[in-house]
Structure 1
Amino acid sequence: MEHSDHLFRREAGRMVAALTRVFGVHNLALAEDVVQDAFCRALEVWKLRGMPENPSAWLMATAKNRALDVLRRQRTARTFAPELEWQLQSELTLVPVVEELFAAHAIKDDLLRMMFSCCHPRLPEEAQVALVLQILCGFSADEIAGAFVSTHAAIEKRIMRAKKVLATSKRLFDVAASVEFSARLPAVHRALYLLFNEGYHGASAETAVRVELCREAMRLTAILLEHPLGTTPVTYALAALMGLHAARLPTRVDASGNLTTLLDQDRSQWDHGLVAEGLKFLELSASGPEITEYHLGATIASVHARALRMDDTDWETIVALYDTLLTIRPSPIVALNRAVAVAQKEGPERGLEEIRSIADRDRLTAYPFYSAALGELELRCGRHETAREHFGAALALARNPMERRFLDRRISACERGDAQ
C-alpha cells in the first residue's frame, strides 16, 4: 500500500482545504474526520475492486458526497462557513454550491487560502510549519515530531493550540485581499523555507535528508507562484533557492545511504532540469528592488551550480555573498558557512581564524556540524588528533544514524592519518 500512502498524503491537503471552505475553519476537525472517512472507505473498496483509474477523483468525489451527507444531517444543529450559510440551508442550492466548491480551480484556490490561514500572525513559526505539514501535507504528529526533534505529545499540543487560533477566523484567508495577502506573504515564505530546509538538512532522528519534505515545500511554492499576488520577486527567489538545492538531492546520499558533502558530490548526477529551472527563477527574482536572504541563498547555490567541478567554484564571489547575507540576516550558521567558504578560498588556517572570530559561536555548540567543520579544517592542517577530538564531539551531538556514520568515517580518516 506504499503507493496508496503517497496518494493519501498528496490528496489530504486538497481535500481538507476544500472541506474547510464548505464547513468553515471553526469546523476544521470535522473536515479532517471526513477526509479520514474517505481514506478508510478507499482502503476497503480498493482492496476488493482494485484501485480506480483516477484515484484522486474517486477520493474527492467520496469526500464531496460525505460532505453533503454531513450538511444535510447537521445544518440545523451546527453553523458552517458564514459566507455560505444561506446557500447550504436549501436543497435547491446545496448541491450546486458544493459541486462548484469541489471544482479543480476552486480546490487550488482553497489550498492557497489554507496555506495563508496556517501562517496566522498570532502563531509562532514552528506552529505555522507544523500546521502546514499536518493540514496541507498529510503528516502525522509522530512524523512532525521526528522532523523537528520533539515529542508526539508536544507536537499534539502545539497543533491543538494553533488550531484554536485558526478557529477564531471562522473562514479561510481571503487571497483576493491584496493588502492582507502582502502582509502575510513573508510568513508564508518563511514557513515554506523552513519546511524545505528541514527536509534538505534537518534534525530528524531517523535521517538527515527528507526528500518528501523538500518536494512538499516545492509543490506549495509552485501553487503560490500561480496566484497573481504570489508571483513576487521574493517568491521567485525562494523557488530558485529550493530548485537549485533540490537539484543536488540525487547526490546528497550515496548508494549505501551515507551522507555526501558538497565537495565530494558527482555533479554530473545533479538534476540539470532543476538547475535550469532554478536559474530561470533566479533571473525572474531580479525584477524588484529588494534583496532578501532567499535571493542571496539562491545566488550562492547558482555559483555552485554553474561550476562543472568543485575546483571551478568561484569562492571569492561566494564569500562576498555571505558577507551581504550576514548584513541582512546575521546568524552564527551563516557565519560558519562563510568561514568554510573562506577556508576553500584561502586555506584551512584562515577558515579556522574565521570560525574563532564568530561573535556568538557559543550558540553553535549544540550543532554537530560546527565541531565537524573544525575537525575538517584541523584535518586539512595535518593535526589529526585535534581533528579526531572535534569529530568525536560532533559524533556525540549527531541526530541520526546517517550523521553518525558520516562522522565515524571522518574519525577513521583521522586515525589513518589521511590528508583530508
Structure 2
Amino acid sequence: MLDNQVNQLIGHLFRHEAGKMAAVLTRLLGFQSLDLAEDIVQDTLLKAMSAWKFKGIPDNPSAWLYTVAKRKAIDAIRKHRLQAQHSEYIHEALRSEWTLTPTLDSSFLQNEIEDSQLRMIFACCHPAIPYESQIALTLKTLCGLSILEIANCFLTSQDVITKRLYRAREKIRDEKISLEAPLPAAMTGRMDAVLHSLYLLFNEGYNSSHPNQLIRHDLCEEAIRLCILLTRNAITDTADTRALLALFCFQASREDARISSDGSIVLLKDQDRSKWSSSLIDRGKYFLEQSAGGDHVSVYHIEAAIAGCHTRAKTFEETDWTLIAELYAILAGMKPGPIVSLNLAIATGYSKSPSSGLEALKQIEGLDDHYLYHAAMGDFYARSGNETEAKRCYDKASGLTASNAERNLLALKQSELSSISRQYVVYNGNHRRFARGKVAADGDKRNVSFSERGAE
C-alpha cells in the first residue's frame, strides 16, 4: 500500500514540481547548466521514491524535494570549485537541511519559485533562439510536458521537437545565454512567445494527449497561475495578458461539466450548465473588461470573446452561433491557419446548415491526419442524414486519436446513427431552423493558431 502511495505521489510531484525545481536550480547553477539542473531533479525524485518507501512520506514532501535538490546542486558547485563564488548562498541554503522532513520558510520558498519561474520563462523565450524552439523549450523545461505532448501541441512529429530542443540547448550553451531577467524593453519583445507558451500549456491540459486522461487539471491550473503572475508585474501586465487570462477563466469554468462520473466525454450541448463555475466566469468577464481599451485587439481578445459567448448562453440552443462564426472569421483574418478554419467551419455549420459546414470543411487543407477534422465531418454528415459517410468519417477519426474517451465517444456516435431521433434545433438570428442529424461537432484540440475547441 505504501509503495503505491509513494509512486502516485512521486508522479504527482513530478508533474507539479519538476519544472519549478529546474527553474530554481538554474538560478543557483546558471542557465548554461540547465541539463545538470534537470539531472538533479531526476535524481532527487528517484531518491525520494527510495527513501519514502523505507522511512515513510515526509510531512512536507515538496519542501523535502527542494531541500535535497538544493543540496545536490550545492555539491555540484563544490565539485566545480565554485564554492567561494556561491559561499553566501550556500550558507543560507544549508540551514536546517539535514533532517528528513525539513521545515523551510514557506514565504521564502514561494517567492523564490515565482521569481525563478518568471526568469525561466523569459530566458527560454530568448530572441536568439528560433521562435518555435523558444516555446518548445519552455513547455519542456518549465512546464514539464513530454516530447509527445509538445509534438501534439505543434501538430508535428516527436523527432522534429527533439531536434528543436537539442538545437536550442546547444545554442544556449554556445552563446552562454544568461538566466537574468531581461530589461523592460527586452521583456516586452518576448511577451508573444511567453503568452503563446502558456496558451499551449493550458490547451494541453484542457484536452490532454494522455490516452486515459482527457483533462489535466494540473496543467490548466499551472497556466492560470503563471498568467496571474504576469498580471502582477507592471511590465508584463498587458492587455494581451489579461485577455489570455480571461480566456483561461472562461474555458476552465466548464471543466467539471465536461466529464461524466464514469469518465465519458460530455459534449457542450449535453453539459449541466449549473456545474459551470460562476466565479470563474465572473473573473473571466472582469479580466476581459480590463483588457479592453485603445485600438489594440489581439487573437486572445477574440478567443476570449468566443468563449464568453458560450458562457452567456443559458442553453445550447440559445448559443449565438452567428456571432461566434463572425468572431472566428475575424480570427481567421488575424491568424490564418487550418485549425482556425476548422472552428470557423463548425460555427458556420451551426449558424447556417450542416451542408454549409460540410462545404467549409472540405475547403480546408492540411488536416487529413487530425482526428477532430474527421469527427466534425462525421457530425455534419450525421446531421444531414448521410449515415454511410458519417460512419466512414467516425472510423477515420477513431484511428487517429489515442484517447480512449474520444474513441468511446466516436463509437457511441456510430451506434446512435440509426437509432436516435435526428432532429436538432439550430439557433440562427431571430428564428429557429430544424435540420436532421445528431450534433456533436468538435473544434480544435491543440493548436498553434490560438483557436479554442469548438462545440465540444
TM-score > 0.5, shorter chain as reference: yes
Q: Name the CA distance, whole Å, in 1 between partners of 2:84 and 2:213.
A: 50
Which residue is 2:393 aligned to? Answer: 390
Confirm or deny that 1:322 pairs with 2:325.
Answer: no
Which residue is 1:347 aligned to? Answer: 353
Q: Name the CA distance, whole Å, in 2 between partners of 1:322 and 1:252.
A: 23
Contact preservation (8 Å) 1:149, 1:205: no
Confirm or deny that 1:277 pairs with 2:283.
Answer: yes
Contact preservation (8 Å) 2:139, 2:197: no
SS at the partner of 1:276?
A: helix
Unaligned 5+ residue runs, structure 2?
1-5, 96-104, 423-437, 439-456
Contact preservation (8 Å) 1:20, 1:172: no
Q: Name the CA distance, whole Å, in 2 between partners of 1:270 and 1:41.
A: 41
After superposition, the Cα gap between the structure-2 partners of 1:276 and 1:364, relative to the gap in structure 1 and judged at 3 Å, is same
Contact preservation (8 Å) 1:147, 1:202: no
User: CA RMSD for the aligned pairs?
Assistant: 3.1
Contact preservation (8 Å) 1:252, 1:265: yes
Which residue is 1:65 aligned to? Answer: 71
Q: Name the CA distance, whole Å, in 2 between partners of 1:172 and 1:86.
A: 20
Stretch deviating more after TM superposition (386-395 or 19-28): 386-395
Q: Name the CA distance, whole Å, in 1 between partners of 2:77 and 2:319.
A: 61
Q: Name the CA distance, whole Å, in 2 between partners of 1:201 and 1:124.
A: 26
Q: Name the CA distance, whole Å, in 2 between partners of 1:389 and 1:408.
A: 12
Q: Name the CA distance, whole Å, in 2 between partners of 1:340 and 1:253.
A: 22
Contact preservation (8 Å) 1:120, 1:166: no
Q: Name the CA distance, whole Å, in 1 between partners of 2:76 and 2:341.
A: 55
Which residue is 2:410 aligned to? Answer: 407
Which residue is 1:133 aligned to? Answer: 139
After superposition, the Cα gap between the structure-2 partners of 1:43 and 1:140, relative to the gap in structure 1 and judged at 3 Å, is same
* Paired residues for 1:121-160 under 5 Å: 121-124=127-130, 126-141=132-147, 156-160=162-166
> TM-score, normalization: structure 2?
0.79
Unaligned 5+ residue runs, structure 1?
77-84
Q: Name the CA distance, whole Å, in 2 between partners of 1:295 and 1:210.
A: 24
Which residue is 1:252 aligned to? Answer: 258
Instruction: Compute the displacement of 1:145 (Å).
Output: 6.3
Instruction: Compute the displacement of 1:344 (Å).
Output: 2.2
Stretch deviating more after TM superposition (166-175 or 321-330): 166-175
Confirm or deny that 1:230 pairs with 2:226.
Answer: no
Which residue is 1:23 aligned to? Answer: 29
Contact preservation (8 Å) 1:189, 1:235: yes
> TM-score, normalization: structure 1?
0.85
Structure 1 counterpart of 2:296, from 286, 290, 314: 290
Q: Name the CA distance, whole Å, in 2 between partners of 1:233 and 1:408.
A: 43
**Alignment length, in residue pairs?**
406
Confirm or deny that 1:366 pairs with 2:369.
Answer: yes
Contact preservation (8 Å) 1:14, 1:136: yes
Q: Name the CA distance, whole Å, in 1 between partners of 2:81 and 2:177.
A: 17
SS at the partner of 2:332?
A: helix
- Structure 1 or 2: more helix by fraction: 1
Which residue is 2:17 aligned to? Answer: 11
Q: Report percent identity of matched pairs.
A: 38
After superposition, the Cα gap between the structure-2 partners of 1:406 and 1:123, relative to the gap in structure 1 and judged at 3 Å, is farther
Instruction: Compute the displacement of 1:322 (Å).
Output: 1.4
Contact preservation (8 Å) 2:242, 2:287: yes
Stretch deviating more after TM superposition (14-23 or 232-241): 14-23
SS at the partner of 1:231?
A: coil
